[in-house]
Structure 1
Amino acid sequence: MNWHQRILSIVKRRKKLLFLLALLIFLYLNNSSLLADPPAGKPLLLAHRGLGQTFDMAGITNDTCTATRIHPPEHPYLENTIPSMRAAFQYGADIVELDVQPTKDGQFAVFHDWTLDCRTDGSGVTREKTMEELKKLDIGYGYTADGGKTYPFRGKGIGMMPTLDEVLSTFPDRSLLIHIKSDDPQEGVLLADRLGQLPPEHLDRLAVYGGDRPIAELEKRLPQLRTMSKASMLRCLLQYEAIGWTGIVPKACKETQLHIPEQYAAWLWGWPNRFLSRMEQAGTRVILVKYADGFSGGFDRPEDLKDLPKDYSGVIWTNRIDRIAPLLKK
């Protein structure tokens, strides 16, 4: 190699290094929260299933009956009931999440489990019952904190399984997050028919998430409704990881909702301040969730709040709104 070629080779290497350096500087300046003000506003609190009994998450599976492993009760509320939702809002919840199951007679019951055997004095598949049958059950029947020695909620949950209509009429001016527990597309059609009867201002306060197929049907029929499924969230996050470093928010991330596991949030371009600002401008709600053993958990203890970014302004998922709301208000 003569001296002309050596000089050209050195120049080319330096150009590559300068380009790489410039790219790294751009990535830092465009995504560092140290150089960005946090979005205005205080964090919002989402009460998971209202205010209910919590349980030990260690080793649970999809088939675990969580009612048989609750912590010693500290309050009288059962999840997914109108009293539990009312209490959650009174403690300071901005959003209440609830689960729905379709019934044999075309209604929606507000209940978490696919079957009745764990929590209630009934048995069988929830969706194979009429709402009249479900209303006769004691939804507190199966709860125990001492391995079955005592059942502190037996007899106290009779007739307390609400319909979705009852919840919507009780809280018409509150924000609700509805969880479809199945991947049945017909459930999305049925829910769209029901929610489509609401006035626009009421619909604006609702959001729905769940299985890919029912959410897809819901989106077709109510495109103005905020929705999320696993597929839509993955589509958004994968596209954002590909181009988000530029500051561009892909269309898949606009006007939607994202449930972000707290332990993975730091991998998002611009986390936290720039990411939250970008999603806010895109009309997307960011909900920070804790996960335990692969299951969604919440910011339920005072020490959990230490894991929140400074000046965090998104939504915080909690199972203990009674504990967390007073701390955040301070």
Structure 2
Amino acid sequence: MSEPEPRRRRRRLWIAPAVIVLVAAGLWTGNSSVLWGTGEGRPELLAHRGIAQTFPLDGVQNDTCTATRIHPPEHGYVENTLASMRAAFDAGADMLEFDVQLTADGQLAVFHDPTLECRTDGTGRVADHTLAELRELDLGYGYTADNGATWPLRGKAVGLLPTAPEVVAAFPDRELLVDLKDDDPADGTALAAYLATLPAERLKTISVYGGDHSVQAVRDRLPQIRTTSKAIMKDCLIDYLATGWTGHVPDDCHHTELHLPQRYGRYLWGWPHLFADRMRDADTRVILVGGEGDWSEGFDQPEDLDAVPPGWSGWLWTNRVDVIAPLTDR
């Protein structure tokens, strides 16, 4: 005797939801950070520009001079100087990030802003000055925490602007991340030409990020170097969202870096620990950045660490490694 139609209809009604539940359970099980992720250890710390002066982020725009709105200084370091970098490593940094752009005479100067007026006693574009001219500047000239009533860093960083080769030489065997500030293929080509003179073992400790065009110039010359840009990260994450549920890590996600605002990680298969493990197996770093990832926001104060997944063993971006390192089980 055949099954009555109402009964068959009822069976079909519960089969579809049951299948959905089973599929969802399978996806959760296969991508569960709780079940499969490491979730142990301590984070590794990326010191952004060494130990830097921090500033409130409210109202910051692309053209905001952040040097004129710093917090009252708790240290005397000026970003992107060898002194601030050395202090960062001494404080416990695992990797150092620094900014690079070309000078008028083709040197790889370490400086953040495209122009000089905000931070220094100079004027004009960095690209329009020679390295010798930039060396004469006071890099701490423009910093104030009280609307110009005092200038606590003036006179303390005269002549301290380094070059990329000087940074590399100063910290042999340490992990370095070079930020190409000008998205011009010429900058990438110049950096790649210098990096190509280094031994293969040294290149393993150096990564490059920045604009799509400048970074691509480095990739074309030195594909063995770990590089990343917005385009590279976008390609990786889109592909991973589509296929990561299987555990597969797309080719676009291999041998690179992902600078991720912590709040966006929740959308990634296996977040946080299984995702970090998968990327680590693909020779890719996962670096958590603060807030939305804009304006150099990092994990700079003890309360910022509340947003870090417990047991996180990936990387953290920080402007104050001296504050954060003692809090991360070092």
TM over 0.5: yes
Residue of structure 2 in register with 1:57 after alignment: 57
* DSSP-derived class of the 1:179 partner: strand
Q: Is the 8 A contact 1:38 1:274 kept in 2?
A: yes
Residue of structure 2 in register with 1:318 after alignment: 318
Give the whole-Å Cα distance in 1 for the aligned partners of 2:296 and 2:247.
29
Q: 1:260 to 1:220 in 2, by over 3 A?
A: same
Q: Is the 8 A contact 2:261 2:293 kept in 1?
A: no
Cα deviation 1:301-324 (Å, max 9, x = unaligned): 111112111110000111111111
Give the whole-Å Cα distance in 1 for the aligned partners of 2:315 and 2:272.
13
CA shift, 1:296, in A, is 3.5
* DSSP-derived class of the 1:260 partner: strand
What TM-score does the superposition give when structure 1 sets the normalisation length?
0.95
AA aligned opposite 1:30: G
Give the whole-Å Cα distance in 2 for the aligned partners of 1:77 and 1:273.
34
Residue of structure 2 in register with 1:175 after alignment: 175
Cα deviation 1:199-238 (Å, max 9, x = unaligned): 1111110111000011111111100000000000011111
Residue of structure 1 in register with 2:269 after alignment: 269
CA shift, 1:7, in A, is 5.3
* DSSP-derived class of the 2:328 partner: helix
Residue of structure 2 in register with 1:329 after alignment: 329
Q: Which residues in structure 2 correspond to 1:237-316 (within 5 Å)?
A: 237-291=237-291, 294-316=294-316
Q: 1:294 to 1:43 in 2, by over 3 A?
A: closer
* DSSP-derived class of the 2:109 partner: strand
AA aligned opposite 2:320: R
Gaps of 5+ in 1: none
AA aligned opposite 2:307: D
Residue of structure 1 in register with 2:90 after alignment: 90
Give the whole-Å Cα distance in 1 for the aligned partners of 2:128 and 2:63.
19
Give the whole-Å Cα distance in 2 for the aligned partners of 1:271 and 1:38.
11
Q: Is the 8 A contact 1:57 1:292 kept in 2?
A: no
CA shift, 1:295, in A, is 2.9
CA-atom RMSD, angstroms? 1.7
Give the whole-Å Cα distance in 2 for the aligned partners of 1:296 and 1:94.
18
Q: Is the 8 A contact 1:269 1:275 kept in 2?
A: yes
* DSSP-derived class of the 1:295 partner: coil
Residue of structure 2 in register with 1:135 after alignment: 135
* DSSP-derived class of the 1:167 partner: helix
Residue of structure 1 in register with 2:236 after alignment: 236
Cα deviation 1:166-190 (Å, max 9, x = unaligned): 1111112111111011221111111
Residue of structure 2 in register with 1:27 after alignment: 27
What TM-score does the superposition give when structure 2 sets the normalisation length?
0.95
CA shift, 1:241, in A, is 0.9
CA shift, 1:40, in A, is 5.6
CA shift, 1:43, in A, is 1.4
Gaps of 5+ in 2: none
